Amino acid sequence: MVRRFHGGVHPPEEKSRTEQSAITDFPIPKQAVVPLQQHIGAPAKACVEVGAVVRKGQLIGEAGGFVSAAIHAPIGGTVKSIAPHPHCLGVPVQSITIEGSGDEEWADGTNVERDLSALDAKAVRDAVAAAGIVGMGGATFPTHVKLSPPEGKPIDTLIINGAECEPCLTADDRQMVEEAEKVLRGAAFMRLALGCGRTLVGIEDNKPAALEAMTKAAALQGDVEVVPLHVRYPQGGEKQLIQALLGREVPSGGLPLDVGVVVHNVGTCAAVDDAVRLSRPLIERVVTVTGECAERAGNYRIRVGTLLSDVIEHVGVKGRMDQIILGGPMMGLAQPSTEIPLTKGTSGVLLTREAPRGPSLACIRCGRCVDACPVGLTPSRLSTLLEEDLIEEAAGWNLTDCIECGCCAYVCPSMRPIVQQAKYGKARLQELKAKK
C-alpha cells in the first residue's frame, strides 16, 4: 500500500533533466568562501587567523554552543580574510575566505578509518559533532543534537527521508541509487546513537530505481523497511512523513521526538557514515544544478564554500536567465548575487526564467488553501490578519505551526503571497516576544 498524508499539492515534477544523471565530482574551487553560520543555532567561532595555512578537512570554526556545528576547510590553502560576506539567507554572515593551493591532502586526524569494535552511542554522537554534520534536507539542524534526545523522550523509530518531494531536485534520488549501502550504514550508526530498534525509509513512488536499490540494501541489514509513498508535495516534511508512515500526529508546537520518532535525510545518513567510519568532516555534498537555463544540468558533488559564479561558469547558461534559486522552486530562495557561497544545506541550484505573475488580489474565500495546507491551518485567515499586521491575532491561529511549504500560495487563484506573509509574521512575532 502506498502511504499518504492530508493536504498538499502536486506541482509539475520537472525532474527529467537530471534524474538519470550520475553524481559527478565538481571541479575544486580556486577559492572557497565558508560561512560560519551554515546551521540552525549559534554561529561557529573562527579558530584560525588571516594568513594561516590550512589543509582540507581542518577545523576552522568551533561550534558556538551545543546547538551549533563545527566548520571545516573544504580546500587546502591560505586564509585570506575573515569578514562578513553575502549569504543565501539575505544578510551578510561572518565568513572565512580560503585561497586554494591545490593541496588535496587531508588534515591530520581526518580521513582515517576508525576502529568500530567498541563503538557506542556516545562515540557516534561525538564523531557526528566533530564532523560538523547538519540536516542536509534544507533544515540544517545540527545532527548530533537530534541524536541526543532528552531524558523521558524514548525513540522507537528512525525515519529516513528519501521523499525528495520538491520539483526539479534529484540529489537524494541519485544518492539512494548509487550509494544505498552507505546511506543505510549511516542510518545504522544513527539507530545505535538513538537506541531505537526500527528504521523506516520513505521514498516517493516516482523513484523506482531508488526504491529498488534501497530495498536490496535493506535486505542485507534485516531491520530496515523501505516504504513507497504517494507522490505529493510536501511529502518530505517531517510531520507529513510521520503521519504517512506511522499514522502519528505531532502535536501543535511539538517535535517528532514527542511521538517517539527522529527523522533524517538520506544525505545526512551518508555524511554520518563518512564521519563515523572514516573520520571525515562535512566539506562537500551532492547538489542538483538544473533549470531551463542550465546548459549541463546534473547532480554534482560540490565543496562547501563554492561560489555560485563558479557553478554557473562550469555548467553554462543557455538563453536568458532571470533567476538563481538555491533549493527547490517551492521553498527555495532567489539570490541577488552570484557571489553567494554554497553551504551544507544547499540541495539545489536552479537557473531559471522568471514566470510571469499578475497582481495580488483580495481573498475570495474559496478555501483552496485550507484544503491544500498539510498542517491543517487556515491560511486565508492568517493572510488577512498578517496583511493588517495583526501579529498576535495570527499567532492565535497557530501561525508558528506553518512549515512555509508554499502550498497555499501555489493554489491561490488571487495570487496572494501567503507564504511570504507567514515568514514575515513569524519574524515579527519573534521581535514582539523579544521586546516583552
Residue 360 has pLDDT above 70, yes or no: yes
Quickly count: other Cβ atoms within 10 Å of residue 24's Cβ: 11
Q: In the numeric block, which cell numbers belong to residue 99?
A: 585561497
Residue 77, by phi and psi: left (phi above 0), alpha (psi -120 to 50) or beta? left
Quickly count: other Cβ atoms within 10 Å of residue 63's Cβ: 22
For residues 339-353, give the mean pLDDT.
96
For residues 268-273, give the mean pLDDT.
98
CA 214 to CA 224: how far, in whole Å? 10
CA 344 to CA 61: how far, in whole Å? 14
CA 350 to CA 345: how far, in whole Å? 15
Residue of 327, 174, 166 whose CA lies nearest to 236: 166
Identify the pLDDT of residue 37: 96
The domains of the chain, with CATH numbers, are: 29-110+286-352 (no CATH), 121-278 (3.40.50.11540), 368-435 (no CATH)
Identify the pLDDT of residue 1: 53
Q: What does the mean pLDDT of the chain come to?
A: 94
CA 424 to CA 386: how far, in whole Å? 8
Residue 50 has pLDDT above 60, yes or no: yes
Residue 75 has pLDDT above 60, yes or no: yes
* Confidence category of residue 2, pLDDT binned at 50, 70, 90: low
Residue 3 has pLDDT above 70, yes or no: no
For residues 143-149, give the mean pLDDT.
96
For residues 65-79, give the mean pLDDT.
97
CA 240 to CA 235: how far, in whole Å? 6
CA 215 to CA 228: how far, in whole Å? 10
pLDDT above 70 coverage of the chain, percent: 99
Report the 3 state secondary structure along 242-290. HHHHHCCCCCCCCCHHHHCEEEEEHHHHHHHHHHHHHCCCCCEEEEEEE
For residues 361-388, give the mean pLDDT.
95
For residue range 167-209, list pLDDT tens digits in order. 999 999 999 999 999 999 999 999 999 999 899 999 999 999 9
For residue range 282-308, list pLDDT tens digits in order. 999 999 999 999 999 999 999 999 999
71-72 vs 348-352, strand pairing mode: unpaired
Identify the pLDDT of residue 211: 98
